[in-house]
Amino acid sequence: MSEHPEHSTGGTYSVKGKEFTRDSRYITTRITTDVRDGFPVEPGRYRLVAARACPWANRAIIVRRLLGLEDAISLGLPGPTHDARSWTFDLDPGGRDPVLGIERLQEAYFARDPEYPRGITVPAIVDTATGAVVTNDFAQITLDLSTQWRAFHREGAPDLLPAAHRDEIDEVNRRVFTEVNNGVYRCGFAGSQEAYDEAYDRLWTALDWLEERLADRRYLVGDTITEADVRLFTTLVRFDPVYHGHFKCNRNKLSEQPNLWAYARDLFQTPGFGDTVDFVQIKQHYYVVHTDINPSRIVPKGPDLSGWVTPHGREALGGRPFGDGTPPGPVREGERVDPAHGPR
């Protein structure tokens, strides 16, 4: 069994008997209105630490922006790479997070538990009063941003978890997580040909299902953007730059899947999605950190990203992206992606 300190994928992971296995044990403390775990919903108290490179963290960045929680929860942005110990704040002046005053996210985990034994993952929500991580449970974080922080949503914030569709959203999310979000990693870190072949077939079975599902509907569930779209988008946007080659998920490029490609472009061009994506950081993370897959650490120059801003035609399917709500406003100063890191 080999162990890898893969801090972006939800803890350490291992290859046991040839098959990739994710460590899904998280700090499951929640921030709630009823203070059940001792952490109240309190604007200005918490900091979301979320690297743009990481798909799981990218979800939280998107949801925070869609809901307009920028004033309620601040955002810390580690750089795209990390060592065996931790994500680092190397993009900030002096290499320290300007709010938490730390060089490594590991320091916030150790403030919670000096013997913390697992991967130092993003996203993480840190209590600025104590400097300690409250939670790194990435799946629950975005659900709680939608439900527990409602009092601080912007006017016109979309309902990403509409009650009428909640069961279907949960069902779709389960399949997308196991077969697609995690499926690309199962391909990339397979420990044998047999394990890879099985993972590859499972991934493409799911992607074919999604290609068919999106043929006559604009969004995954209902006629508005939901949590399900956020969760699929962060994998799709990384597919051609990383997963197709680096993780050997190479039956087709995303750009060769007509419905998925048009759907991904539709979301990318929707405020709150593409304006959170940093393709340069994404490629730097995977190709530099995964030395067992890419020992040279050479980061590819491609692919051509200009297609992301081409017309997608998905409006013909109807749907209302934000339902009865409105798009988010301009990205906040200090949170904008470098224009040179996107499609040109």
Residues annotated as part of the active site: 54, 185
* Neighbouring C-beta atoms of residue 218, cutoff 10 Å: 23
What share of residues in the chain are helix, strand, coil (percent, to 5)?
A: 40, 10, 50
Take residue 105 and report the two structure tokens written for it: 């996210």
Residue 284 CA: distances (Å) to CA of 61, 107, 218, 241, 299: 19, 24, 32, 10, 6
87 is in an annotated binding site: yes
SS3 325: coil
* Neighbouring C-beta atoms of residue 35, cutoff 10 Å: 12
**Residue 26 · residue 133 · CB < 8 Å:** no
**Residue 107 · residue 25 · CB < 8 Å:** no
Rounded Cα distance between 118 and 222, Å, is 38
* CB neighbour list of residue 9: distance below 8 Å, 6 or more residues apart: 22, 56, 119, 121, 185
Residue 161 CA: distances (Å) to CA of 57, 145, 327: 19, 11, 16
Rounded Cα distance between 198 and 326, Å, is 43
Q: How far is CA 311 from the centre of its chain?
A: 25
- The H-or-E segment that residue 21 falls in is strand 19-22
- Residue stretches of the annotated binding site for glutathione: 87
- Residue stretches of the annotated binding site: 87
